[in-house]
């Protein structure tokens, strides 16, 4: 059987080939967005019960940068940049991966000195590496520079016990990520 | 004494030959039954023999394989193929949503901001009064931004509800108009139900029933051969213009009852 290249999703200078069962979202948070007025021809909107941007409303003067989210489970619409709202839904076989770009002022600093997207080993995952601990899960965070852009890679695996097979999947997905200059 | 020993030995030998022949006969009967039940001669079972029909009768169509398990799923060839969805979210995200090769069903709600008939759906979404059945995922799909009003959609659709603007998805699923709901089976990559209505509550029961039926133990544990034969017979009868409750299916007494 012929092997076809995975479908690619691209935007904001980031591109990723989507392996089976994986889905992705690339975005740049809108800072200080104000909802537009409703046209007269449109049906009356239902009363809003919740905030328009539960995660990611930002703050005045904030600079937003591209973010790539990848997961092998359905990503919810409302998520934090580091996966809040998504990691709580993960099962033991699931993986959440976030690639977050930072401002150019970070370039050349010691934190971002490593170059290139890393490849991970199972031992690098740690339950204390999570933004917020979730039972059974483990996380990994790494700062680096790729194509002259400073990034943070944040990965959560659904089961620390399954770190070996899950890390293989993580590395397969990392192979598919391309960063444009 | 010696003669008795010789006679007994001969009788024992004859009995051994008879028992051996009997066992061989049984083995050949079992082998033949195994072949009739779809097993390959001298090898492991290779599925049931093909269903044959008389000349002029519509041939049953082959099943398709489950992309997740690799097993063949009956009847799925009748359903339209599902498609993964790519588009943009109301937050401006570039989105790829999987509906194929995933272990869950997806309820796709094709809605529009300017559609009168969609008001009931938007209202229920805003109220949070309807959620997709357990093990399935709800995705609202509108046409792309050039054919929609993203600002109105932002007010109609709560941020917790996944909404993708994608005219391509409307084309892929041949959506005749809004509101329109499509339920896809992630394991088989096929559409398992579609139609229109006035609200999620109205058609939610049908969606729930469709998803629950496909997981019901009574269906899951029925012998494959039974389900396959039943499906093939239904298809052939329908192909010959004989539908459910057709009078020709019943005897005279049963016809009177019907």
For residues A132-157, give the mean pLDDT.
Answer: 95
**Searching chain B, which residue's CA lies closest to the CA of residue A8?**
B96
User: In Å, what is the CA distance from A65 to each residue of A81, A104, B121?
Assistant: 11, 10, 34
**Residue A9 per-residue DSSP state:** E
Q: Is the pLDDT of residue B215 over 70?
A: no
Interface of B with A (CB under 8 A): 84, 86, 89, 91-98, 101-102, 104, 113-116, 118-119, 122-123, 125-128, 137, 149, 151-152, 154-156, 158-163
Q: Is the pLDDT of residue B220 over 60?
A: no
The predicted pLDDT at position B35 comes to: 65
The predicted pLDDT at position B69 comes to: 47
- If one counts every other C-beta atom within 10 angstroms of the C-beta of residue A14, the result is 21
The predicted pLDDT at position A7 comes to: 87
- If one counts every other C-beta atom within 10 angstroms of the C-beta of residue B177, the result is 11
For residue B243, the Cα-to-chain-centroid distance in whole angstroms is: 21
* Backbone torsions φ then ψ of B165, nearest 5 degrees: -90, 115
The predicted pLDDT at position A82 comes to: 93
> Helix, strand, or coil here: A16?
strand
Interchain CB distance below 8 Å, B123 and A10: no
Q: Using CA atoms, how far apart are residues B153 and B181, in angstroms rounded to an integer? A: 18
Q: Is the pLDDT of residue B41 over 90?
A: no
Query: pLDDT grade, residue A131 (50/70/90)?
Result: confident
Residue whose C-alpha is closest to residue A72's, from A34, A16, A119: A16
> Looking at B20-29, B55-64, B193-202, which range is the least confident one?
B55-64
For B105-141, how does the pLDDT look when each residue is reduced to its tens digit (9 = 90+)?
999 999 999 988 899 999 999 988 788 888 889 999 9
> Looking at A5-14, A121-130, B227-236, which range is the least confident one?
B227-236
B147-174 burial, b if ≥16 CB within 10 A, otherwise e?
Answer: ebbbbbbbbbbbbebbbbbbbebbebbe
Q: Using CA atoms, how far apart are residues B76 and B190, in angstroms rounded to an integer? A: 7
Can you give the residue ranges of every domain in chain B?
Answer: 6-33, 76-218
Q: Using CA atoms, how far apart are residues B191 and B189, in angstroms rounded to an integer? A: 7
* Backbone torsions φ then ψ of B210, nearest 5 degrees: -60, -40
CATH of domain B76-218: 3.40.30.10
Please tell me which of B41-50, B191-200, B209-218 the model is most confident about, judged by mean pLDDT. Answer: B191-200
User: In Å, what is the CA distance from B10 to each residue of B2, B3, B18, B22?
Assistant: 12, 11, 12, 18
Which of A9, A26, A46 lies nearest to residue B156, judging by beta carbons? A46
Q: How many CA atoms lie within 13 A of B233 on its CB side?
A: 8
> Looking at A42-46, A57-61, A119-123, B85-89, which range is the least confident one?
A42-46
Q: Give ipTM to 2 decimals.
A: 0.81
Continuous segment of H or E residues that includes residue A144 = strand A138-146
Residues comprising chain A, all counted: 181
A vs B, Cβ pairs < 8 A, gives 105
The predicted pLDDT at position B34 comes to: 65
> Helix, strand, or coil here: B196?
coil
**Searching chain B, which residue's CA lies closest to the CA of residue A27?**
B93
The residue to which tokens 């969609």 are assigned? B118
Burial group, residue B70, by CB count within 10 angstroms (0-12, 13-18, 19+) = exposed
> Helix, strand, or coil here: B10?
helix
Which of A12, A20, A78 lies nearest to residue B101, judging by beta carbons? A20
Residue whose C-alpha is closest to residue B109's, from B43, B175, B160, B48: B175
> Looking at A78-87, A152-161, B9-18, which range is the least confident one?
B9-18
Tokens (6 digits) for B84:
């993964």
Q: Using CA atoms, how far apart are residues B4 and A169, in angstroms rounded to an integer? A: 78
Q: Is the pLDDT of residue A56 over 90?
A: no
For B145-191, how does the pLDDT look when each residue is reduced to its tens digit (9 = 90+)?
999 999 999 999 998 999 999 999 999 999 988 899 999 989 888 88
Q: Using CA atoms, how far apart are residues B23 and A100, in angstroms rounded to an integer? A: 72
The predicted pLDDT at position B50 comes to: 43
Query: pLDDT grade, residue B66 (50/70/90)?
Result: very low
Contact criterion met (CB below 8 Å) for B229 and B218? no
User: How far does the CA of residue A119 sit from the closest CA of chain B (Å)?
Assistant: 24
The predicted pLDDT at position A13 comes to: 95
Name the residue with higher pLDDT: A70 or B196: A70
Interchain CB distance below 8 Å, B162 and A77: yes
Tokens (6 digits) for B171:
């084309």
User: How far does the CA of residue A139 sit from the closest CA of chain B (Å)?
Assistant: 24
């Amino acid at each position: 059987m012929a092997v076809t290249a995975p479908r690619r999703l691209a935007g904001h200078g980031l591109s990723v080939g989507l392996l089976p069962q994986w889905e992705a979202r690339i975005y740049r948070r809108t800072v200080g967005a104000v909802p537009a007025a409703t046209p007269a021809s449109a049906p009356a909107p239902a009363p809003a019960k919740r905030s328009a941007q539960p995660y990611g409303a930002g703050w005045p003067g904030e600079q937003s940068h591209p973010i790539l989210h990848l997961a092998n489970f359905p990503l919810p619409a409302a998520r934090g940049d580091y996966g809040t709202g998504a990691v709580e839904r993960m099962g033991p076989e699931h993986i959440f991966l976030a690639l977050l770009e930072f401002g150019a002022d970070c370039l050349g600093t010691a934190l971002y000195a490593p170059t290139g997207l890393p490849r991970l080993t199972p031992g690098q995952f740690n339950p204390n590496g999570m933004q917020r601990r979730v039972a059974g899960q483990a996380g990994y965070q790494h700062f680096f520079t790729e194509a002259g852009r400073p990034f943070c890679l944040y990965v959560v695996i659904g089961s620390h016990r399954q770190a070996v097979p899950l890390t293989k999947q993580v590395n397969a997905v990392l192979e598919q990520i391309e960063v444009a200059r | 004494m010696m003669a008795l020993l010789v006679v007994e030995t001969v009788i024992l030998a004859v009995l051994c030959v008879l028992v051996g022949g009997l066992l061989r006969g049984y083995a050949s009967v079992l082998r033949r039954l195994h072949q009739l039940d779809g097993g390959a001669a001298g090898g492991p079972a290779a599925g049931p023999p093909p269903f044959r029909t008389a000349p002029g009768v519509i041939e049953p169509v082959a099943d398709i394989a489950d992309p997740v398990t690799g097993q063949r799923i009956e009847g799925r060839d009748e359903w339209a193929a599902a498609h993964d969805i790519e588009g943009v979210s109301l937050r401006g995200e570039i989105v790829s949503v999987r509906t194929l090769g995933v272990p869950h069903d997806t309820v796709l709600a094709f809605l529009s901001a300017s559609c009168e008939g969609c008001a009931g759906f938007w209202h229920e979404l805003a109220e949070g009064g309807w959620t997709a059945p357990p093990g399935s995922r709800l995705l609202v799909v509108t046409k792309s931004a050039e054919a929609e009003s993203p600002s109105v959609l932002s007010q109609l659709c709560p941020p917790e509800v996944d909404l993708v603007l994608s005219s391509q998805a409307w084309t892929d699923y041949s959506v005749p108009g809004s509101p329109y709901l499509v339920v896809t089976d992630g394991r088989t990559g096929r559409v398992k139900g579609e139609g229109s209505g006035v609200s999620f509550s109205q058609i939610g029961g049908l969606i729930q029933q469709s998803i629950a039926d496909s997981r019901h133990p009574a269906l899951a544990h029925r012998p494959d051969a039974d389900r396959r034969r039943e499906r093939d017979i239904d298809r052939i009868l329908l192909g010959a213009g004989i539908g459910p409750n057709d009078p020709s299916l019943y005897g005279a007494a049963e016809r009177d009852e019907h």
